[in-house]
Each structure stands twice: as C-alpha cells, then as structure tokens.
Structure 1
Amino acid sequence: MKNLKQSIAALGICCAALLSTNSAFAQNADGFVDLIDGVSLEGWNIVGTASWTIGNGLIVGNKPSGFLVSNKTYTNFIIKAEFWAESNTNSGIFIRCQDPNKPSQYTCYEINIWDTRPEQAYATGAIVDLAKVNPVPKAGGRWNVMEIVANGSHFKVVLNGEVTVADGQDSKYASGPIAIQSAGGVVKFRKLQIKPL
C-alpha cells in the first residue's frame, strides 16, 4: 500500500512537471499565457471550412471561411498577438463570443484584420460596429503586433505601438471564448497571448 501511494505521488509530480512545461498554457514571467504553441491546435476547436496549417511556430489560415475558437471563456484581459496578413486578407480576432459554434461580428466583438475593408473606418485595428480606426493603418505584407484590452465595458486596441481605437464602450457581452478568423487571403499568427485583468 505504501508503494502504491508513493507511485501515485510520483505520477502526480511528473504530470505537474509536464503541464508546467506545456508552452500553450504556461504562464510567462510577465503574467501572459501563450494560447498557441505553433505545433498543435490544443485548446482550440475548428469551426467552419477554413484550411488551417500548423508548424514552424505558426498557425496559418489560407482559405475561407472559418474560425479557431478557444475552449476557454475569458472576461477581462489583455491580448497580445503577432500576425502577418496580405493586404487583401480578411481576418480578425473575435472576443467574448456568445456562441462558440457560430462566431460573428453579431455575436462577438470583432477586432478586424482587413486593410481593404470597403468601410475603411472599420478596417484593421477597428472593433467592428463599435470603435473606428483613426488614422486607418495598413498592416498588409508585414508582421504586426496588436494589443487588445477588454476591461468591463472599456476596449482599446493598439497596433504596432499606435492606439488605433482610443476608447470603445459597450456592455453587451461580458465574457466568452476567443476566436481567430480566416475569411479570405493568407493570415499567419506566430504569437497569441492573454493576461487576465
């Protein structure tokens, strides 16, 4: 019986060690947790028919239309994302989604990645139908860093160090999963991190 208890305890320690080294869920020194590891889709569900490829530290969407939706729900947080998009790519980061099986701009807050959106006020960096970009940034053809703050009813988006949306106020959705979109063109994510507030 003693040996069985020791074996169970040792197994628990091994499992804890393995979980602490899993890069997709380990907390970094700055308090951020990596949501993608670039080698798997652990922690995500595929919704729709988009083609997602994983490898070399990247998650790449290159076919419409679909989403990767997080298994977990989040309320107040900061997201840091590094992405690459073509100038005509239609993508986005969706937060506080109400229906994880049907994410959309009508059931989530959509932070757009779409330089050529017909209504330019809601192009890359905007929160669609909530907070416009000013000035309108261009993200196509290069790596970009986006920071999204969602704290209660207050939202802020920073793209490449510049505030594109100073203040967005809305209290329609309090919490929900996160989703990343592939709706046309190539989009690549090499970092997606979250820090609860």
Structure 2
Amino acid sequence: MKTKLFIACAAFSGALLAACTPAPKNNVLTEAEKAEGWKLLFDGKTLDGWRDYNGDSLTAPWIVEDGCIRAKGSGSDASGYIVTDTVYENFELVWDWKIAEGGNSGMLYHVVENPKFKVPYVTGPEYQLIDDFGFPEPLEDWQKTAADYAMHVPDTSKTIIKPAGEWNTSKIVFDNGHVEHWLNGEKVVEFEAWTDDWFEKKNSGKWKDAPEYGLAHKGVICLQDHGSAAWFRNIKIKELPRKTKEVDLFNGVDLKGWEIYGTEKWYVDNGLLVCESGPDKQYGYLATREYYDDFDLTVDFKQLANGNSGVFFRSFIEPGAIINGWQVEVAPKGMDTGGIYESYGRGWLVQIPDEKENILKPGDWNTLRILVKGDNVKTWLNGEQMVDLSDPKIGKAQGRIALQIHDGGGIKVQWKNLKLKTL
C-alpha cells in the first residue's frame, strides 16, 4: 500500500508541476540562445525586416496574426514571396510552422534578388512545407514535407509530421556546402552541395533549364505563399563561419568543373586550356559551374591571335549565352588588359592608362591576378597593379568566374595555371 500510495502521490505531484509550469514564450530568445549568437527573424508583432522579393517594401499578402506570420493564401507561383532584408551565408535556421488543410508553402534560402530572376526558386533551394496527408493531388517524394524540393527526398523512416493545423518544428543547417534538413527533432535530409552528385541531380531534373539554381553561397531567406494559408513563428537564425579553400580551376586534362555557353570552341590541348572562335563568330563563355564571390585568382594566358578575351567574375548566365557581371579585360596591346568592364549598364568602369599598356607581352605568357573582396577589386598584370576599384554594385553581387571569347572571329588564346583561393 505504501508503494502504491507513493507512486500515486508522485504522479499527482508531477502532473501538478506540469500544470503550474508556464508555457514557453514564443518569438523570444533565452539568455543562453543570445549568448550562442541566435537572432530572431520575427519579433511576434511586426513584419519589420521583411519585404517583397525584388522589392523595397512589403505589399505581398502576409500579415501578423496572434503572434504568427501568416500567409493569407492569395499568392501564386509567380507572386506572394517575402524575403529578409539581410543576406545570410552559413547558418542554422529554426522555425515553427503549420499549414492549412491541402496547403503548400516553403522556406527558401540563398535566394538571389535581381530583376533578371522573376521568382525566388530559380536561384534559392527550398525546404518544402506541404500537407502530405490532405494535398489534393498525389505527391512525388521530392515534393513532400522537408524535402530539398526537386533535389533530395526525406528519409521517410524518420519523418514525423503533424497534420494540417498543428505546429511542426523545422531546421535547416547550411555549413559551407554541408546541408541538413530536420523535422520535429529528426534529421531527415543530409547532402553536400556542389558535388558531382549534386550537379547531376540539378542538371537532369526540374532545374536543368535554371542555370543559376542553387549556386549562390549566400542570399536572402524567403517565405512562400503558394495559394494557401500558412503560419510561422519562432523564426531564429545563428550564423556559422565561412571556411576558405584553395582550388585548381583547371586540371590540365579536361573541362571538368566548367560549363560551355555559346557555340565557340573550348578545348584542352597538350595540358593547356584553349579558347578559339568558331564558325558563328559570336560571344562565347566557359563558366565555372560553381560560384566564387571573395577570392584571389591567378591565371596565365598567351594570345596566339587577336586575343580579345577576358575573365568575368561575380557573373551569371542567361539563356542565349548572355552574361551579366564584370570582366577583367584580356585584349591586344592598347585595349586595356587588366581594366574592368561591366557587361550590362555602365560599360567601362576602369580603363588602363597608356603608360601601362607596355606591361602586356603579346605572343608570350602573361600572368593576371584578380583579388575580389567585398566591394573591392584589384588586378595585377605581370606583377604590376592595374586596378584598385571599390564599387557598391559589385559588392552586392555574386556569381561565377567565366572566360570569354569576344565576337568577330579570329580569336585564339591559351590559358594555364588557374589557381584560386577563397577568402
């Protein structure tokens, strides 16, 4: 009797304690979280810090309701997205969410804002949020909750989803290309971005015609109104440090790690990378398949014929081999090798003074160095500094490195020793 009475009293005391313990407050950080570097992305009262995608104010169908960010459900595939004011690179991102019956939404990251990109998902990966049980159409595994949408499917043996109208907790970890998706305390997706396997998935599925999908190393965070109500709270983020690495961009054997745009010729000959005008005599580009934002790059080049070429940085490619970004000029003597040209908008940003034109060695090997950090670009040709430019527009951009063939025909340039260190 004494044992049973003790157990009963203990159970009653535990229940009473649980009933008297205040529920955790929403949209606040503990002192421990603050000390660890966590920050709130939603204060529980306003939408301060959020705005329309590609906009400077908030007009999209989102409101604050009962301490939650709510999607009204009037968005569509083409509209209804809101993004953070702040750009994030490496992070842990945690949030609570619930969705309307039959609903569909998402949390996107590394979203690039540019008028050329009409919707966020052509650049930013998406943690899928959807009503797996009540969605009106059959779902593929890559469409289900916690999937890396259209790329990596969740581990269904670990997937615990609460139904529409109930709160779930999700987490994304992005740590220098290592990615994890968590759902209600379980890790259900894990992969490495920008590996051969990752690029194979990207180029063979839904994103094969979205050349810049998933390449950005940083970007805004985005919430999606996909035509159904969704609620978000306790959105918090902790930034993680960037890691540096050294990269040989050219292996001397083939064009692995590069992508060809246009119809001009790019090939390897006797351990050298060669660009040569083709029969169409148009612009052509050989672009890294990865983005490189802050870096120190050295490359050797030899102009065998009309060497009108260049090295683009923080650039992206549109269909039709149209490049957007900045070029460090490589051209015949008297044509500003080492200068900076913007491919759209402003044209020449820095041209080379006449007294520096003799630094170029026509028909011989030259060494070009490009240092890009934040909004500053420095260039050197054969050890002599050519440019020191700070520009806010460059500072906001990110993208690929790309070698160029100018239009007009008759161009042939050799390249070697393309060595890069990220910063």
Q: What is the CA-CA distance between 1:191 and the residue it aligns to? A: 1.5
* CA gap 1:113/1:139 in 2 versus in 1, 3 angstroms: farther
Q: Is the 8 A contact 2:305 2:412 kept in 1?
A: no
Q: Distance in 1 between matches of 2:318 and 2:296?
A: 20
Question: Please, which runs of 5 or more residues in structure 2 have no aligned partner?
Answer: 1-195, 197-244, 342-347
**Counterpart Cα distance in 1 of 2:317 and 2:262:** 13
Correspondence for 1:4: none
Which structure has the greater CA radius of gyration?
Answer: 2
Q: Does structure 2 conserve the Cα–Cα contact (< 8 Å) formed by 1:33 and 1:194?
A: yes
Distance 1:109 1:100 in 2: 15
| 2:274 match | 60
Per the normalisation by structure 2, the TM-score is 0.36
2:350 — aligned with what? 131
Letter of the 1:190 partner, please give it: K
* 1:56-108: CA deviation from partner (whole Å, max 9, x where unpaired): 2111011143110111011111111011114621100000003365454xx21
Given residue 418 of structure 2, which amino acid in structure 1 is its aligned partner?
A: L
Amino acid at match of 1:90: N
Q: Is the 8 A contact 2:264 2:276 kept in 1?
A: yes
Give, in angstroms, the shift of residue 138 of structure 1: 2.7
Residue 195 of structure 1 aligns with an amino acid whose one-letter code is K
- Is residue 112 from structure 1 mapped to residue 302 from structure 2 by the alignment? no
Amino acid at match of 2:402: A
| Cα gap change, 1:103 to 1:97, in 2 (>3 Å) | farther
Matched residues, percent identical?
34
1:26 aligns to what? none
1:158 counterpart (374, 380, 393): 380
Structure of greater relative contact order (alpha carbons < 8 Å, 6+ residues apart): 1
Q: Could you say which residue in structure 2 is the equivalent of 1:140?
A: 362
1:179 aligned onto 2:402: yes
Show the counterpart of 2:125. none
What is the CA-CA distance between 1:33 and the residue it aligns to? 1.3
| Ranges in structure 1 where 5+ consecutive residues have no aligned partner | 1-18, 20-30
Cα pair distance change 1:34/1:103, threshold 3 Å:
farther
Query: What's 1:12 paired with?
Result: none
User: Match of 1:49?
Assistant: 263
Instruction: Give the Cα separation in 1 of the matches to 2:286 and 2:417.
Output: 14
Aligned length: 161
Q: Which runs of 4+ in 1 moved over 6 A?
A: none
Q: Which residue of 2 aligns with 1:33?
A: 247
Q: CA separation of 1:37/1:148 partners in 2, compared to 1, >3 Å: closer, same or farther?
A: same
Q: CA deviation at 1:131?
A: 1.9
Report how far residue 32 of structure 1 moved. 3.1
Q: Is the 8 A contact 2:360 2:366 kept in 1?
A: no
Distance 1:103-1:169 versus aligned 2 partners, 3 A rule: farther
Across the aligned residues of Structure 1 and Structure 2, the Cα RMSD in angstroms comes to: 2.0
Deviation at 1:49? 1.0
Q: What amino acid maps onto 1:98 in structure 2?
A: F
Q: For the residues of structure 2 that align with 1:69 and 1:80, how far apart are their CA atoms?
A: 16
Tell me the residue number matched to 2:298. 80
Distance apart, 1:196 and its partner CA: 0.7
